[in-house]
Structure 1
Amino acid sequence: MEKSIGKQKKLYYMQLATIFIGFVIFGFSENIKGPAIPRIQADFLLNESQLGTLLSLNALGYLLACSFTAFLARKWGVKLVTIGAFAIMAVSGILIYFSHYYAMFSSSYFFMYIGNGMLEIGLAILAARIFVRNTGMMMNMSHGFYGLSSTVAPLIATGLMEVTINGHTLDWRGMYLIMLLTSIVPILFALFSRFPEEEGKHEERLPFRALMKDPVIWLMVCILTFGVVSELAVGGWLVNFLEKAYAWDTVTASGMLSVFFLCFALARLVLGPLTDKIGFILSLILFSGFTALCTFAAILGGEQYAFLFAAAGVGIAIIYPTVMAFIARRYPNGSDTAITFIVTIMGIGSVIGNYVIGGVIDIVEGYVGADSSTGLLRGLQAGYGVIGLCAALCAISGIWLYVYLYKRNEVI
């Protein structure tokens, strides 16, 4: 009996290690790009629109992976899919290191985001099957690892890019190689572990057509799309903005991005439970509105108010998990269908969002004066303003949803 209990504990710890380290890797891969992007842009001579297109294509790769990973998990098993996701991350690091031409680099970067998408879905499935007790606490804890790794990722990336080995500076290629090869660690834990597979329980599901006729689902699409675009765009554009608009050095700019993710992580851990007391929809309105105010105030206030860029992370952190909680409560017999649909549209929004930000920067800069420092500043401010606008539209969509549900006495 004691041996059996000991084996079960050991197995559970191996499962925990796979999930928690997996979220650490996920946070690294998502957020080391901030300090690297200005260098990538300089090496390949990319303008802002091309940079926006690159980030949009990566979001497309992420979207594609999210669309087929659940199917692969049912067909091959979640263990093989998770190991495959980690393997793709490691291989993409090697490919990025040897990418000296833009075509190869963009393909390798796209491949990395395929792994990213597979990893997010794989970890979500694992967590849902393993955390059968204290589910909310364990989910928050696992996402806390993502937030914490996101906090230190820009600083680690900045430091690694300056490391010199035998007279050779690692730069951004070497940094990606080292950071992504850490994916080998959770592969080892997963190989020697065993994960519960789906038991095939079938429930009466909400028909897809009925779901599509519900105005609530479309308003949730708007809320999540605007919210996630606002969230993800910060990782790609904040360091770039601070370096070019205020002439900050990479270390200082990356530090601000790290503070953003620290605020993001702490908000999920500390403020997450408040959403149950305030109500899901009111929480979405209040927190997304807070992010919009912080972002616009930071842009209009100038360099001395740059700390508000980081403070915006407090509000935007709550959007994604609150939307998921709302869906689970409103569609108990069709949550998987609702989530798949919303996440797919959200991915499309992310693709468009990065492209729009880069395009706005170029258009405004060209209108004001492409060769002047004022033109660049106004372009960057307008582009980053799109991030604040998305947060504001998230809040407005939340108000619309609240009014709709209030009239029907269905507010959650």
Structure 2
Amino acid sequence: MDFAYSEKVEALRARLLAFMDEHVYPNEATYEAQQAAMTDRWQPVPIVDALKPKAREAGLWNLFLPHSDRGAGLTNAEYAPLAEIMGRVHWSSEVFNCSAPDTGNMETIDRYGTEAQKRDWLEPLLEGKIRSAFSMTEPAVASSDATNIETRIVRDGDHYVINGRKWWTSGAGDPRCKIFIVMGKTDPENPDKHRQQSMILVPRDTPGVQIKRMLPVFGFDDAPKGHAEVVYENVRVPASNILLGEGRGFEIAQGRLGPGRIHHCMRAIGMAERALEMTCRRALDRRPFGKPLADQGVMVERIAKMRILIEQSRLLVLHAAWKMDEVGNKAARADIAAIKVAVPEMACQVVDMAIQAHGAAGVTEDFGLAFMFKYARTLRIVDGPDEVHRHQLGRLELQKYKPPRAT
């Protein structure tokens, strides 16, 4: 592959970088101040909504959706460097209507939804009028193996009835969240365990949908989006809300999670770049023992290591994105598994070194490094833990060396 960005991507990068310089970085303190002053942390932060019309006017809206005429018409490889730029500030993706879980949910409905589902839910999501949540993980089972999921989706005439308990339903805390995508079992006795599951659209205000609590992550509540524990008790929705058809849940998940992992990883790379930047400025500015930190050999070595780790990860993700575009998500599954392990590990190391360079200040929220570390560490579990991806990658590697079966 050619790692050089096309003229189209370079032009978008330039516009996005200029927007960040003019509107996002100068308002980081505004965001923190506004959120701190809010009596209800679960309401939208005003500065984010104020910047959204500016992003639309700048043509920086819905940049994801690879191979779809509803987005900017970018491939995974073309969108990846833009996601990296947005990842430099944890809330900036929403300004461009490119934040999780909405991106994954919009891609899911765009690829697998009916025209009616697109009209009712995709269009308002693309307009930024509503937000959404993804409800898959369950507290009672080991959800790293999604075949364990126990939530039931039972056909009853022209409706489905849903019963189950989920948690880590990302996005559910936002008052603008109007639609959940829920994964559960429609055919638990199917001998093919990957045909037991389905995904279904559940409007947030449907009777029986109960948010039990919002789950903190290392002490951060991630308001106003958050991650909820949700109970579905005799939740009845029209049969037309099923996505793609019964038994297609795993197929949808694979289509959804591939691009999502590119987005997560590139945002993490952008965050790591910001941490490296902060480390370099800190090293040049601070003078322990009579000379700058930058004159200490250990600091120079760490900065070099941070640069190497980031560059390795970026190239690995860009290659995975290119391969997805060229041969599809299934054929690129080894590459996707590799980045899902490598990038969060890199981000954890880079942010940890940045914290060390900042000393006691690094563990406060004055520099945002504690939030970065929370995000990096959580990413080792999000969309499947490291162990699952390593296992898949190792099996695929071993498969290359197995002798062919006799016919």
TM over 0.5: no
Q: TM-score with structure 2 length normalisation?
A: 0.32
Name which structure has the greater RCO, CA cutoff 8 Å, separation 6+: 1
More helix by share: 1
Q: TM-score with structure 1 length normalisation?
A: 0.32
More strand by share: 2
